[in-house]
């Protein structure tokens, strides 16, 4: 058994450099925990770096690094879904274990990548792909392995959480806060992936597969961004005892109750949650995931969801796991001969691949949530009665009503909170409300969840 584990880092941006710094800073600690010398032998970079140890080979040919006999584990932190996929598949083909922080790649191509890794008896680890330094992947794959997960809800995009926090705490409009987020480096020049929920949807697809033992199905995640959230709604929510957070939900539905379909809800959207809920008090760029499982109950995992230190921590946690796998296979004569033997490693999506379920993913109109409705109406007698009648006829129960002072002469905003209802029922009710002659604008709706 060689006493050294040789790493290649593909990409020397913020995360790749963070990994190098972590190894340099904690080298003795890593050796004490693993019993191995963990060394970087090669890095993939487009330009030569003067600040890299001269003993480390710098190479722009990523495919060559992925096949190098001088590498045991390939760390992919270049991002994207084209070159990154090709490099990872090439590394797997050449018997290399892989660590990646690439949530978009895994959400879209993870089923293919994991199957190829299984066939080649290597592992693809991806703790850093979801929620930065929070060890949520390890928790769900290992610590909660004996539990049945009923649902999870998460703040899994720090940019969106920063924007919603600033809007609430400082009364700033969305566009103003987004500009600051870009100046601070929290949001990209093109912030679409963050503010439209696509980044969170990638992460939710991974979490849901681990939670429920289903194949990755990013294309079936319902996705709604925060660009339409106004200070008006933020303030009304506060007045009613709620806060608006941009959340990802994965929920198992058993089909019981009127019009409820059995299946799994995968949804990312702005959500009203109670002010005293744990997730309501996770602010700034922090991430958090709340998991409800049986028999454990609710547990919250919170911390930095991005940044060099947090992501490097997650990358190296995966490396340490793989170091132990390499140690177990070195000491097990049968491991190298049995393509289905994974040493002491947990299956990629927590469940034995042959046991992944074909549980259906529910369509948006089949999902069940409570609702916040903001209706602008003429200040005429009987308007509120008309609205409540339409909701009642649709089988929608009202939890609270708030009528606010007129913003325009003769027009008043009416705020309604409903109990959970199937979305198709709410769609029909809103369509009828908007057809009333007394309604002056489109109905604003935001989903509501008590997280109970």
Calculate the CA 40 to chain-centre distance: 30
pLDDT digit of tens for each residue in the chain (452 aa)?
468 999 999 999 999 999 999 999 999 999 999 999 999 999 999 999 989 999 999 999 999 999 999 999 999 999 999 999 999 999 999 999 999 999 999 999 999 999 999 999 999 999 999 999 999 999 999 999 999 999 999 999 999 999 999 999 999 999 999 999 999 989 989 999 999 999 999 999 999 999 999 999 999 999 999 999 999 999 999 999 999 999 999 999 988 766 678 999 999 999 999 999 999 999 999 999 999 999 999 999 999 998 899 999 999 999 999 998 887 665 554 444 344 444 457 899 999 999 999 999 999 999 999 999 999 999 888 899 999 999 999 999 999 999 887 767 678 899 999 999 999 999 999 999 999 999 999 999 999 999 98
pLDDT at 232: 94
**DSSP, res 381:** T
Residues with a known catalytic role: 203
Which of 34, 114, 49, 45 has the alpha carbon at shortest distance from 77?
45
Structure tokens at 283: 């602010």
Domains in the chain (CATH in brackets) are 4-135+308-355 (3.40.50.720), 136-304 (3.30.360.10), 367-448 (3.30.70.260)
The bridge status of strand 148-155 relative to strand 286-294 is antiparallel
Instruction: Report the 3 state secondary structure along 98-120.
Output: EEECCHHHHHHHHHHHHHHHHHC
Distance CA 16, CA 97 (A): 17
Angstrom distance (rounded) from CA 45 to CA 346 = 32
Predicted TM-score (pTM) of the model is: 0.94
Q: Which of 119, 123, 42, 114 is nearest to 85 (CA)?
A: 114
State the Cα–Cα distance between residues 276 and 146, nearest whole angstrom. 29
Give per-residue pLDDT as tens, 116-144.
999 999 999 999 999 999 999 999 999 99
- CA–CA distance, 86 with 63 (Å, rounded to integer): 8
Sequence length of the chain is: 452
Q: How far is CA 291 from CA 49, 113, 119, 171, 297, in A?
A: 43, 27, 32, 31, 8
């Amino acid at each position: 058994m060689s006493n050294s584990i040789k790493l290649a880092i593909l990409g020397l941006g913020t995360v790749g450099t963070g990994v190098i710094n972590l190894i340099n800073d904690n080298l003795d600690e890593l050796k004490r925990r693993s019993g191995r010398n963990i060394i970087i032998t090669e890095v993939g970079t487009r330009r030569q770096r003067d600040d890299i140890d001269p003993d480390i080979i710098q190479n722009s040919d990523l495919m060559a690094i992925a096949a190098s006999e001088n590498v045991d584990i390939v760390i992919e932190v270049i991002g994207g879904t084209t070159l990154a996929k090709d490099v990872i598949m090439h590394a797997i083909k050449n018997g290399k274990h892989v660590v990646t922080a690439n949530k978009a790649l895994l959400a879209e191509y993870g089923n293919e990548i994991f199957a190829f890794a299984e066939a080649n008896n290597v592992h693809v680890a991806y703790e850093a792909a979801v929620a930065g330094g929070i060890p949520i992947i390890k928790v769900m794959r290992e610590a909660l392995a004996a539990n049945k997960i009923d649902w999870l809800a998460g703040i899994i995009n720090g940019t969106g959480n920063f924007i919603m926090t600033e809007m609430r705490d400082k009364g700033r409009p969305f566009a103003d806060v987004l500009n600051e987020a870009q100046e601070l480096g929290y949001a990209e020049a093109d912030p679409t992936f963050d503010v439209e929920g696509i980044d969170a949807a990638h992460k939710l697809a991974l979490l849901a597969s681990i939670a429920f033992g289903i194949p990755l199905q990013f294309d079936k995640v319902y996705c709604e961004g925060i660009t339409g959230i106004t200070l008006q709604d933020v303030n009304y929510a506060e007045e009613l005892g709620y806060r608006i957070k941009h959340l990802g939900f994965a929920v198992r539905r058993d089909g019981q109750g009127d019009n409820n379909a059995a299946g799994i809800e995968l949804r990312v959207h702005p959500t009203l949650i109670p002010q005293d809920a744990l997730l309501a008090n996770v602010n700034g760029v922090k991430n958090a995931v709340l998991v409800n499982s049986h028999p454990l109950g609710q547990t919250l995992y919170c911390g930095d969801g991005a940044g060099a230190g947090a992501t490097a921590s997650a990358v190296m946690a995966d490396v340490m796991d793989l170091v132990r796998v390499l140690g177990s296979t070195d000491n097990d004569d049968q491991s190298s001969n049995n393509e289905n033997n994974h040493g002491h490693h947990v299956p990629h999506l927590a469940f034995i691949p042959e046991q992944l379920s074909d549980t259906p993913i529910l369509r948006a109109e089949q999902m069940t949530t409570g609702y916040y409705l903001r209706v602008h109406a003429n200040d005429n007698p009987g308007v509120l009665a008309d609205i409540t009648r339409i909701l009642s006829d649709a089988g929608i129960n009202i939890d609270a009503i708030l009528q606010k002072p007129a913003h325009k002469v003769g027009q008043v905003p009416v705020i309604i909170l409903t109990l959970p209802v199937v979305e198709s029922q709410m769609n029909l009710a809103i369509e009828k409300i908007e057809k009333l002659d007394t309604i002056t604008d489109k109905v604003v709706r935001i989903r509501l969840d008590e997280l109970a």
